[in-house]
Structure 1
Amino acid sequence: MASFSKYDTTNGERWLLKITITDPVTHEKKRTTRRGFKKLSEAKAAAKIIEMEESKIKYNLKAHVIFKHIFEEFEQEYSKHLKPSTIYRKSIDIRKWILPEFGEKRLKDISKNDCQRYIDFMSTQLKSYKPIVIQAKNIFDYAVRNNYIESSPFTNTVYPKNTLYESEDAVENFWTKEQSLHFLKSLKENENLKIYAMFRTLLLTGLRKGELLALQESDINDKTQNLTINKTLYYKPDNTYQILKPKTKASIRKLHLDDETYSVLKDLIRQNKKLRLQYNVQTENKFIFIKETSFDPFRNSYMNEVLNKLCKRYELPKITVHGLRHSCASLLFAAGVDVKVVQKLLGHAHIETTMNVYTHVTTEQVEKTTDLLTDYLKEKSSGGQTVVKLEKKQ
Structure 2
Amino acid sequence: MAQSNPKVIINHTGMRRGELLGLKWSNIDFNKKRIYVTHLLYYVSGQGLVLQSPKTSSGNRNISITDEIIDELQSYKLKKQEQLLKVGMKLNDEHFIISSFGGEPLNPNTIHKQFLYDVKLAGVKRIRFHDLRHTHATIMLEIGENPKVVSERLGHSNVSITLNKYSHVTPNLQDSSAENFTKALSHSHSKQ
State the Cα deviation string for residues 228-275 of structure 1 (Å, max 9, x = none). Answer: 111111233357423210131101111111111111111111122222
Residue 283 to residue 260, structure 1, CA distance change in 2 (3 Å):
closer
Question: Alpha-carbon deviation of 1:302?
Answer: 2.3
Task: Give yes or no for contact 1:329–1:357 (8 Å, CA) kept in 2.
Answer: no
Question: Alpha-carbon deviation of 1:291?
Answer: 1.2
Residue 225 to residue 340, structure 1, CA distance change in 2 (3 Å):
same
Q: Aligned equivalents of 1:211 and 1:300: distance in 2?
A: 11
**1:227 and 2:25 correspond:** no
Q: How many pairs does the alignment contain?
A: 173
Partner AA of 1:311 in structure 2: V
State the Cα deviation string for residues 157-181 of structure 1 (Å, max 9, x = none). Answer: xxxxxxxxxxxxxxxxxxxxxxxxx
Q: Aligned equivalents of 1:240 and 1:271: distance in 2?
A: 28
Q: Aligned equivalents of 1:313 and 1:283: distance in 2?
A: 30
Q: Aligned equivalents of 1:238 and 1:267: distance in 2?
A: 37
Identify the match of residue 277 of structure 1 among 78, 82, 85: 85
State the Cα deviation string for residues 196-253 of structure 1 (Å, max 9, x = none). Answer: x22x211110011111111111111122111111111123335742321013110111
Residue 272 to residue 240, structure 1, CA distance change in 2 (3 Å):
farther
Q: Aligned equivalents of 1:286 and 1:346: distance in 2?
A: 24
Residue 360 to residue 247, structure 1, CA distance change in 2 (3 Å):
farther
Task: Name the residue aligned to 1:193.
Answer: 4
Task: Give yes or no for contact 1:326–1:357 (8 Å, CA) kept in 2.
Answer: no
**1:241 and 2:49 correspond:** yes
**1:137-216 aligned within 5 A:** 188=1, 192-194=3-5, 197-198=6-7, 200-216=8-24
Calculate the TM-score normalised by the size of structure 2: 0.79
**1:289 and 2:98 correspond:** yes
Task: Name the residue aligned to 1:352.
Answer: 160
Task: Give yes or no for contact 2:23–2:37 (8 Å, CA) kept in 1.
Answer: yes
SS in structure 2 of the partner of residue 249 of structure 1: coil
**Unaligned 5+ residue runs, structure 2?**
176-192
Task: Give yes or no for contact 1:272–1:288 (8 Å, CA) kept in 2.
Answer: no
Partner AA of 1:221 in structure 2: D
SS in structure 1 of the partner of residue 58 of structure 2: helix
**1:54-133 aligned within 5 A:** none
SS in structure 2 of the partner of residue 241 of structure 1: strand
**1:217 and 2:25 correspond:** yes
Q: Aligned equivalents of 2:134 and 2:40: distance in 1?
A: 19
Task: Name the residue aligned to 2:149.
Answer: 341
Question: Alpha-carbon deviation of 1:283?
Answer: 7.2
**Unaligned 5+ residue runs, structure 1?**
1-187, 370-394
Residue 263 to residue 282, structure 1, CA distance change in 2 (3 Å):
closer
Q: Aligned equivalents of 1:362 and 1:319: distance in 2?
A: 23
Q: Aligned equivalents of 1:249 and 1:216: distance in 2?
A: 19
Residue 347 to residue 239, structure 1, CA distance change in 2 (3 Å):
same
Identify the match of residue 65 of structure 2 among 257, 277, 280: 257
Partner AA of 2:157 in structure 1: A
Indicate the structure (1 or 2) with the bigger Cα radius of gyration: 1
- Higher RCO (C-alpha 8 Å, min separation 6): 2
Partner AA of 1:193 in structure 2: S
State the Cα deviation string for residues 349-383 of structure 1 (Å, max 9, x = none). Answer: 133320133212335x48xx7xxxxxxxxxxxxxx
Identify the match of residue 313 of structure 1 among 121, 126, 129: 121
Calculate the TM-score normalised by the size of structure 1: 0.41
Task: Give yes or no for contact 1:330–1:357 (8 Å, CA) kept in 2.
Answer: no
Q: Aligned equivalents of 1:236 and 1:281: distance in 2?
A: 29
Q: Aligned equivalents of 1:282 and 1:239: distance in 2?
A: 28
SS in structure 2 of the partner of residue 235 of structure 1: strand
Task: Name the residue aligned to 2:130.
Answer: 322
Q: Aligned equivalents of 1:361 and 1:309: distance in 2?
A: 29
